[in-house]
Amino acid sequence: MEFYKSKIKGTGMYVPEKVLTNADLEKMVDTNDEWIYTRTGIRERHICSTEGGEWPTDMALKASVQALEAANLEPNDIDMILFASVTPDAKLPNSACILQVKLGITNNCAALDIAAACSGFVYGVNLANSMIQTGAAKNVLVVGSEMLSREVNWEDRSICILFGDGCGVAVVGRNEDSDQSEILSSTLGADGTGAEFFDQPVGGAVEPITPEHIEKRTHMMQMKGGEMFKMATRTLANNAKKVIKEAELTLKDVDWLVPHQANVRIIETTGKLLGIDSEKVIINIDKYGNTSAATVPIAFHEAIHDGRIKRGDLVLFDAFGAGLTSGATLLRY
């Protein structure tokens, strides 16, 4: 069987217009800018309009148009959409199908949603890579798009200060340019025994939302932050080491670490555990908070756009989230 190389051909991002600052949150719950910034690194986050135009697939449309342009591709060149989100537009149809229509794709391309929480985009990139390597797909649109503001209890200060809305997209495609760009190694994993650390059990088949849930706000996301923190740093460091080893490279070779943006202290601790200089770590949590599946593609896109990440650089994606899911990708951009 022929084996193809894949690479990231283009990226895009979109964040909603409305900005919610820590000062705004001070008026909503018993918190303050100093606590939020020192504990999380977050200054502000973007929040989707509920009037329309900024639903997860709308944000994905805007980001995808940019990514396709950067990749020099037309919508109908895409033969698979992988849409990572825990806040899809609807239960049915999946968001990938909605995006297919919004993009005007008429080739009946495959369209699949990925529910892997904050690791969803990295799951998507790694699955796209496998599809491309085997020849099952040629150009895969990988989306991370979230409207977490819908699922956050705005009366719970332990959680509402953490999250934001936004979208990042990458076109992963077969490398036909004979350049050095390539996805070199990847890992995906999960530890379902840690599910209780970050969950939202109400609203599924087992326990539908009732008026009582709505009154008590028990249908929202709930997290045990301290437990997540410990698991995150350990898992992020282990997965990074795994992909480096598989590619027969060293952590010193890494030009850029693009980690999931859940907490600046998690990112800094992971960087230290790996011995990666802080200047090589992409951090933008101050502007966007935790946008779940969108953090890695937004951070990656921004760093390409402002000239930090260049073609040929060795880039490491590293993500961790509810599930508990995790994944890492090592690539030559």
Q: Both ends of the chain: CA-CA distance in Å?
A: 26
* CB of residue 29 to ligand UT7, shortest distance in Å: 7
Considering the rule CB under 6 A, would residue 22 count as an interface residue with ligand UT7?
no
- Of 6, 22, 64, 263, the one binding ligand UT7 by CB under 6 A: 263
Piece of the chain touching ligand UT7 by CB under 6 A; list 33-41, 144-152, 268-276, 298-306: 33-41
Contact (Cβ atoms closer than 8 angstroms) between residue 186 and residue 327: yes
CB 225 within 8 A of CB 157: no
Residue 198 or 333: which CB sits closer to ligand UT7? 198
Window contacting ligand UT7 (CB under 6 A); options: 36-44, 96-104, 134-142, 201-209: 36-44
Q: How far is the CB of 25 from ligand UT7 (least distance, A)?
A: 8
Taking CB under 6 A as the criterion, which residues in 52-91 touch ligand UT7? none
Which positions from 278 through 307 interact with ligand UT7, judged by CB under 6 A?
290
Q: Which residue is nearest to ligand UT7 (CB)?
A: 225
Determine the Cα–Cα distance for residues 195 and 217; give it in Å rounded to an integer. 20
Residues β-bridged to residue 8: 172
Helical (H) or strand (E) element with 172: strand 165-174
Tell me how far apart the alpha carbons of residues 229 and 217 are, in angstroms, rounded to a whole number: 24
Q: Is 284 a catalytic residue?
A: no
Q: Kindly tell me which residue out of 19, 35, 203, 305 binds ligand UT7, with binding defined by CB under 6 A.
A: 35
Binders in 109-138 for ligand UT7, by CB under 6 A: 118
| From 46, 260, 263, 301, active-site residue | 260
- Of residues 254, 212, 222, the one with CA closest to residue 237: 254
Say whether 290 is catalytic: yes
Concerning whether 213 is annotated as a catalytic residue, the answer is: no
* Other Cβ atoms within 10 Å of 158 Cβ, number: 13
Q: How far is the CB of 31 from ligand UT7 (least distance, A)?
A: 3
Cα–Cα distance list, 206 to 209, 218, 321 (Å): 10, 14, 22
Distance from C-alpha of 263 to C-alpha of 40, rounded to nearest angstrom: 5
Question: What is the smallest separation between the CB atom of 7 and ligand UT7, expressed in angstroms?
Answer: 27
- Report DSSP letters for 4-34, one per residue: --EEEEEEEEE--SEEEEHHHHHTTSS--HH
Q: Which residues bind ligand UT7 (CB under 6 A)?
A: 31, 35-36, 39-40, 118, 157-158, 161, 198, 225-226, 228-229, 232, 262-263, 290, 321
Q: Which residues are catalytic?
A: 118, 260, 290
